[in-house]
Amino acid sequence: MTPGPARWDLAVVGAGPAGAATALGALHADPGLRVALLDRAAFPRDKACGDGVAPHVLDLLAEVGVTGLLDDRTPVGRLRLGRGGLAAERRMARPAWVVPRRILDARLVDAAVAAGARLLRHRVRDLRQHTDAVLLDGEISAAVVVGADGAHSVVRRALGRPRGPVALALRGYAPVAPGRSGAQVIEFGTRHQPSYAWSFDRGDGLANVGYGEFLHRNRPAPTRAQLLERLETLLPGATGGGRHWVGHHLPLSTARWRPPAGRVLLAGDAACLVNPLTGEGIHYAVATGVAAGRAAAAALRAGRPEQAGERYALATRRILLPHLRHTALAARLARSTRVIEAGLRASAADQRVFDDFVELGLAWGRFTPTVALGLGRAFLIPVRPTGRPQEPA
């Protein structure tokens, strides 16, 4: 690989959805920028994920000139939410996609490179801030740096920012079990709250199946065997013929979104932006990546790269903060079994409640009056006991 210029306008650490979107956001705003996209892995590469892609992701990509990315994939129209025998199954207002990250992320990187980014294989270990630039590992200098290096972000650690609450999840690929085709199926846990198992039909005979749960400080993290056992208990038959099992942490968002000021920005998982209700993170990654790229381009155009962080905060706060407050509240409420069951009954009874829950879990949705009213009504419906098996302790 030929070395690039010694100094870049923008260096993006991590070329997942957040990093590729950062490059796209910056280059769409100013195609003349010198953008380095650094990743420790060679693409295509796998990433532990449920592979569920909200339609809103494609809206964001279209804004930066990327269209038709998933035209060859089969959209998934139905979503089934269940817990211990209660279920709400409905058509989503807009279909979602299930795209293996090996495919999705490589396509996003290709789009960023086509827009003008330079993809460099490099594992970042060290970040130093100087008055006029940021230096990575003593060899890559950039006016602005965006940390898009995932859940265990080196850039976040270099900024001295703590990580908040985390979940742990395991995923594999298995033949779609009978009764679960053409749908995204989510079965909430009965014991280890909050938790859920999923089976997302990829549309090619295989499903992405997995199980994840919130990690409590005073409880040991579940082992791989326990994660698999809990998945199989909640979704019997899901693990049969399963391969490519990988696990990873999910850094969950809280109501306290405070992006750093200055030349070093954070996007996606590096910024601890995973929906605490659903584990969704690709939409946040692309949304904050695009916003970070645009903020960097605007600050560079103004000749004030050190103001990129303030511009990014201003652009993201208005839309992100209210949503994060609402998801934090919903996640807190969802620790109660009674609330989850009321939510399922309300979603089964009313398409609008279902649609609002989907928006809250996948995009910028809020805890709407429709949801509050639906939950209130559902609390009044008496619960019938079910004979479904419980998860092992």
Ligand X SMILES: Cc1cc2nc3c(=O)[nH]c(=O)nc-3n(C[C@H](O)[C@H](O)[C@H](O)COP(=O)(O)OP(=O)(O)OC[C@H]3O[C@@H](n4cnc5c(N)ncnc54)[C@H](O)[C@@H]3O)c2cc1C
Residues contributing to the site for ligand X (CB under 6 A): 13-19, 38-41, 47-52, 123-124, 148-150, 154, 169, 171, 210, 212, 248, 250, 268-270, 274, 279-283, 285
Q: Which is nearer to ligand X, 49 or 378 (CB)?
A: 49
CB of 133 to ligand X, least distance (A): 18
CB of 22 to ligand X, least distance (A): 9
Residue in the block written with tokens 């970070």 = 292
Q: Which residue is nearest to ligand X (CB)?
A: 281
Q: Which is nearer to ligand X, 199 or 347 (CB)?
A: 199
List the beta bridge partners of residue 7: 141
CB of 113 to ligand X, least distance (A): 14
CB of 305 to ligand X, least distance (A): 21
Q: Which is nearer to ligand X, 112 or 154 (CB)?
A: 154
CB of 186 to ligand X, least distance (A): 10
Q: Which two tokens stand for residue 292?
A: 């970070």
Q: Which is nearer to ligand X, 48 or 340 (CB)?
A: 48
CB of 241 to ligand X, least distance (A): 19
**Alpha-carbon distance 90 to 240, whole Å?**
26
**Alpha-carbon distance 204 to 51, whole Å?**
14
Give the C-alpha distances (Å, rounded to integers) separating 348 from 40, 201, 285, 340, 386.
45, 21, 30, 12, 17
Q: Which is nearer to ligand X, 47 or 317 (CB)?
A: 47
Output DSSP code: residue 126: -
**Alpha-carbon distance 306 to 271, whole Å?**
19
Q: Which is nearer to ligand X, 61 or 124 (CB)?
A: 124
CB of 89 to ligand X, least distance (A): 18
CB of 306 to ligand X, least distance (A): 23
Taking phi first (over 0 means left), then psi (-120 to 50 degrees means alpha), and beta for anything else, what does residue 387 get?
Answer: alpha
Let me know: does 212 contact 169? Beta carbons within 8 Å.
yes
Output Rg (C-alpha) for the chain, integer angstroms.
Answer: 21
Question: How many secondary structure helices (H) and strands (E) does the chain include?
Answer: 10, 15
Q: Which is nearer to ligand X, 82 or 100 (CB)?
A: 100
User: What's the one-letter identity of residue 327?
Assistant: T
Q: Which is nearer to ligand X, 55 or 373 (CB)?
A: 55
Q: Which is nearer to ligand X, 285 or 346 (CB)?
A: 285
Closest CA to 233 of 249, 256, 209: 209
**Alpha-carbon distance 70 to 103, whole Å?**
10
Closest CA to 262 of 287, 296, 293: 296
Q: Which residues are within 8 A (CB) of 218 and not within 5 positions of it... i.e. 6 or more apart?
A: none
**Alpha-carbon distance 146 to 161, whole Å?**
14
CB of 337 to ligand X, least distance (A): 23
